[in-house]
Amino acid sequence: MRLGVLDVGSNTVHLLVVDAHPGAHPLPAHSHKVELRLAQLLDDSGGIGDAGVERLIEVVHEALRAAEDKGVEELLPFATSAVRDADNADEVLARVRDETGTELQVLSGEEEARLTFLAARRWYGWSAGKLLVIDIGGGSLEIAYGMDEEPDAAVSLPLGAGRLTAGWLPGDPPEADDVRALRRHVRTEIARTVGDFTRRGVPDHVVATSKTFKQLARIAGAPGSAEGPYVQRELKRESLEAWVPRLAAMTTAERAELPGVSEARAGQLTAGALVAEGAMDLFGVERLEICPWALREGVILRRLDHMGRR
């Protein structure tokens, strides 16, 4: 069947269409993506303002039309941290439902971590052993660890690259004191969770997902996207540590000139790099591999698993 996943994320609204059936590798058929940056559209009260909601509804309509055009048989719509953490989340969800007919399922942070872990496990297989999976989104950071398809530990922290940029790094380039303050904040938040993972043992394989990690790996010398999803891409902590001060000293325009860095994400790359560096350092990770599959694929795989049990 042709499945569609509508991901209302903190940075983008992304429709991914795949051809799939239980037990098979989902084959991408179409991708429709709009940069919305919901995490940066919160008003002073912590809610998504009218302009942001109107734009969200417009973008959901666009995605629904694209899904219909591509013959999607079943659509799996969900929202993550930007909607989940908004003070007016219920109102936003109701408006989207009433005006588009789409019921967005709001995933908890732990669900995000677990579904992303499932995708990574399926991608690497059982031979990868104990996995540590790290994902940096626009609104949150997810970390999960385990041996099976369900992780033994999973956590979500409010350390998304977009959220942190909006709240901590107003300058372009950011002030050095602001960068240091954010670095301390990030490491304090991550350090509170490290013991829950490290007491379970050393992972056999550490992988990362998300656009942030892909861009950091690319500027550190990993192959570009044109070489396909099966080429191994890795990020070494030593390389990342060398890039963090360079990224912090650049303007958004200068970062956008780096290989693999999109103009839309360039502004939040410094915050993302600080989170990546903090996570790798505090978890004692010298190198990690970039996983092509993440949350959207995890949602698809979970749906296919349920279909296969009928």
pLDDT for 308: 64
Residues near 158 by Cβ (< 8 Å), separated by ≥ 6?
Answer: 81, 85, 139, 140, 141, 189
pLDDT for 37: 83
pLDDT for 44: 73
pLDDT in tens, 78-90: 999 989 999 999 9
Q: Is the peptide bond before 173 cis (omega within 30 degrees of 0)?
A: yes
Given a contact cutoff of 8 angstroms between Cβ atoms, the answer to whether 59 and 36 are in contact is: yes
pLDDT in tens, 52-71: 899 999 999 999 999 999 99
Cα 178 to Cα 171: distance, rounded to the nearest angstrom: 9
Given a contact cutoff of 8 angstroms between Cβ atoms, the answer to whether 132 and 139 are in contact is: no
pLDDT for 114: 98
Cα 90 to Cα 95: distance, rounded to the nearest angstrom: 9
Cα 212 to Cα 176: distance, rounded to the nearest angstrom: 21
Amino acid code (one letter) for 171: G
Q: Which residues of the chain have pLDDT under 70?
A: 308-310
Residue in the structure block whose two tokens are 């992780």: 151
Does the pTM surpass 0.75? The reply is: yes
